[in-house]
């Protein structure tokens, strides 16, 4: 029996099913013990929760690194929010037991995150759901499930598997993870990828067919397929796939912290996309040539007050210190109506992706913008390797206005006698069709460009990449997206403006030769993708990349482009094997 889902974490798992069963968390018959006692119970449960999650954070750091451990740390951050705790206590004062008060508040937060447009922010709803269940279990005195008793060669099957559960699993005995709900960007999937465990998600109706432990299952996390009770021929085919995958992963280790060169021996620049110090350290260890995108919005999330100049200065300086003599590109605040940041007091919008966000918000709120720019300028003086990048630019006027505020910040720092980088570079993210059309004009004011392919594809094709109904339309292989990327790079070359790329396209192996042939100056990807991209670049000569790209650019559809590239990769693989 074959099921098709989302390929959440690559690799192939073969083994017996173990169903992860949620404990009974019904609190309807729980007696009320009085306001003071209920508040005390809540406080004790929260403290025990922190201890449990802190242990899991240590496990996650040891198994997957600090970047993934931060997923769990976020649960502690949420539960220490005074606003959330005060809401729970207010409900207790109104007569609710601790379980009901906590349940009502966490579910309201969960619903809030489920209704936002931004996919990454929606994943926080899952984290809050995990938090809710764990707290209920503690309050009710329900024993924690013993996950260490799993037999070797098991495939864990569940409705959903949050990051905290995955971290607690004995991974040496787990072949794969399979869930009914979830997606590629869910925190459970992110954790699975970080731990190297194959995973398939979004398998609607799976639990109706998997009602008992012990069934034999194949889970292909690369293809998004699950097969129950396979025949011998199918089993043999997937055993071979598993062997090939394991060999492939072993070969990647050679490319960790190695110089990035193509098959001609030409040095290529490969940088990292980061969201904070934890990812910066991973990128440094993986040999990143710098930071092509520092997403500063993560400094502003999950808090009720904005980070001040000193806090931002410290964070930017710490990251810059990890990459001496290599650039660190800091993107200015990119939040808006689609990301609930309480301290900003942003209104809910009908269409937040086209609304009050990114550079539009910053130019309209110069006080907030200036604090960030002052912090960046000061950090730049200390290390001399920082650059500034403006998101969601659609007009030349926005760049000029931002430069004016930057000059004012520099002047105020000079008046204060504070050191700052007087020659700091200011670049522009090209991620809207408007920016593509005026890229030659933007080149007159920008020191560099960085192509944000995620939004560029979404806006160009009028398809929300997070919407399952139209997400497949949002393809980087669409001729319109490819032509836009080529246009940007050509304009940069003509104006002697360096062009980088920091979208997910950069970590797609099939796009590597196309970007090479276009003449892209540098690629920036997630730290976990650095070794893979480095290896792929090492297999391409520029002449071969140009030959393939010439064929690709003559195609008339995304499907035709993919077929053309697939054929080329099959020929290349055959040639490499013969060699």
Q: Which residue has the tokens 């607690």?
A: 168
Task: Tell me the torsion sign for CA atoms 518, 522, 525, 527.
Answer: positive
Write down all domains in the chain, each with its CATH number in brackets. Answer: 2-21+149-234 (3.50.30.10), 35-140 (1.10.274.10), 257-541 (3.20.20.60)
Supply 322's token pair. 């990890």
User: Which residues 6+ apart lie within 8 Å of 375 measured at CB?
Assistant: 309, 310, 312, 313, 316
Round to whole Å and give the CA distance between 486 and 553.
Answer: 10
Round to whole Å and give the CA distance between 5 and 178.
Answer: 9
Q: What is the pLDDT of residue 373?
A: 98
> Based on the number of CB atoms within 10 Å of its own CB, is 185 exposed (0-12), middle (13-18) or buried (19 or more)?
middle
Supply 216's token pair. 């034999």
Supply 81's token pair. 């929010």
| Residue 34 CB neighbour total at 10 angstroms | 9
Report strand pairing: 522-525 vs 269-274: parallel
Its pTM stands at 0.75
Round to whole Å and give the CA distance between 157 and 153.
Answer: 13
Compute the chain's Rg from CA coordinates: 25
Name the active-site residue from 409, 474, 502, 564. 502
* pLDDT tens per residue across all 579 residues of the chain: 899 998 888 899 999 999 988 888 899 888 999 999 999 999 999 999 999 888 888 887 777 666 667 778 778 877 777 788 899 999 999 999 999 999 999 998 888 777 665 556 667 788 888 899 999 999 999 887 777 788 999 999 999 888 888 888 888 899 999 999 887 777 888 888 878 899 999 898 889 899 889 999 999 998 899 999 999 999 999 999 999 988 888 888 889 878 999 999 999 999 999 888 878 888 898 899 999 999 998 788 656 678 999 999 999 999 999 999 999 999 999 876 455 566 677 777 777 778 888 999 999 999 999 999 999 999 999 889 999 999 999 999 999 999 999 999 999 999 999 999 999 999 999 999 999 999 999 999 999 999 999 889 989 999 876 665 776 788 899 999 999 999 999 999 999 999 999 988 898 899 999 999 999 999 999 887 899 999 999 999 999 999 999 999 999 999 999 999 999 998 887 665 544
Taking alpha carbons only, the member of 283, 385, 403 closest to residue 329 is 385
Alpha carbon distance, N-terminus to C-terminus of the chain: 39
Q: What is the pLDDT of residue 40?
A: 95
Task: Reply yes or no on whether 32 is catalytic.
Answer: no
Contact 132, 103 (CB under 8 A): yes
Task: Tell me the torsion sign for CA atoms 243, 245, 246, 251.
Answer: positive
Task: Reply yes or no on whether 187 is catalytic.
Answer: yes
Taking alpha carbons only, the member of 274, 325, 323 closest to residue 524 is 274
CA contacts within 13 A on the Cβ side of 518: 29
Q: Which residue has the tokens 């012990």?
A: 214
Q: What is the pLDDT of residue 578?
A: 47
| Cα torsion through 103, 109, 110, 113, rounded to 10 | 180
Name the active-site residue from 187, 474, 478, 564. 187
Q: What is the pLDDT of residue 121?
A: 65
Q: What is the pLDDT of residue 337?
A: 46
């Amino acid at each position: 029996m074959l099921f098709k889902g989302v390929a959440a974490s690559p690799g192939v798992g073969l083994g017996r099913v173990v169903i992860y069963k949620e404990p009974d968390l019904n609190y309807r018959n729980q007696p009320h013990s009085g306001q003071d006692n209920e508040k005390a119970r809540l406080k004790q449960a929260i403290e025990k929760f922190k201890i449990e999650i802190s242990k899991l954070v240590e496990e996650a750091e040891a198994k997957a690194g600090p970047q993934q451990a931060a997923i769990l740390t976020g649960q502690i951050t949420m539960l220490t929010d005074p606003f959330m705790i005060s809401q729970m206590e207010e409900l207790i004062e109104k007569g609710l037991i601790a379980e009901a008060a906590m349940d009502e508040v966490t579910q309201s937060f969960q619903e809030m995150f489920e209704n936002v447009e931004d996919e990454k922010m929606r994943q926080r709803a899952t984290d809050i759901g995990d938090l809710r269940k764990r707290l209920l279990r503690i309050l009710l005195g329900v024993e924690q499930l013993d996950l260490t008793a799993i037999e070797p060669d098991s495939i864990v099957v569940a409705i959903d598997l949050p990051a905290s559960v995955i971290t607690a699993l004995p991974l040496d005995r787990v072949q794969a993870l399979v869930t009914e709900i979830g997606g590629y960007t869910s925190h459970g999937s992110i954790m699975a990828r970080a731990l190297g465990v194959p995973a398939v998600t979004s398998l609607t109706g799976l639990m109706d067919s998997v009602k008992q432990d012990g069934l034999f299952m194949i889970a292909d996390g690369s293809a998004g397929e699950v097969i129950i009770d396979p025949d011998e021929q199918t089993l043999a085919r997937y055993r071979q796939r598993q062997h090939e995958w394991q060999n492939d992963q072993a070969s990647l280790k050679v490319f960790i912290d190695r110089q990035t060169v193509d098959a001609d021996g030409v040095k290529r620049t490969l940088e990292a996309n980061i969201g904070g110090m934890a990812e910066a350290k991973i990128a440094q260890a993986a040999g990143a040539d710098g930071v092509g995108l520092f997403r500063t919005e993560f400094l502003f999330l999950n808090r009720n007050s904005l980070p001040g100049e000193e806090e931002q200065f410290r964070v930017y300086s710490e990251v810059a210190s990890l990459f001496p003599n290599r650039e660190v590109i800091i993107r200015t605040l990119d939040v808006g109506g689609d990301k609930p940041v309480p301290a900003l007091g942003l209104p809910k919008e009908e269409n937040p992706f086209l609304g009050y966000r990114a550079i539009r918000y910053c130019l309209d709120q110069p006080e907030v913008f200036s604090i960030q720019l002052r912090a960046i300028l000061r950090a730049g003086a200390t290390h001399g390797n920082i650059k500034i990048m403006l998101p969601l630019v659609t007009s030349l006027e926005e760049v000029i206005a931002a430069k004016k505020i930057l000059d004012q910040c520099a002047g105020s720092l000079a008046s204060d006698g504070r050191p700052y980088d007087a020659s700091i570079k200011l670049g522009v993210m090209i991620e809207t069709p408007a920016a593509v059309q005026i890229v030659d004009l933007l080149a007159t004011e920008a020191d560099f460009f960085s192509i944000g392919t995620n939004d560029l594809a979404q806006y160009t094709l009028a398809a929300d990449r997070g919407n399952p109904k139209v997400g497949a339309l949002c393809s980087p292989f669409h001729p319109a997206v490819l032509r836009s990327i080529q246009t940007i790079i050509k304009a940069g070359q003509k104006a002697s403006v360096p062009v980088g790329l920091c979208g997910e396209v950069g970590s797609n192996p099939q796009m590597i030769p196309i970007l090479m042939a276009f003449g892209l100056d540098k690629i920036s990807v997630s730290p976990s993708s650095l070794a893979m991209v480095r290896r792929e670049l090492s297999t391409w000569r520029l002449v071969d990349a140009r030959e393939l790209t010439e064929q690709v650019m003559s195609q008339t559809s995304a499907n035709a482009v993919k077929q053309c590239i697939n054929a080329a990769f099959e020929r290349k693989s055959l040639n490499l094997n013969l060699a």
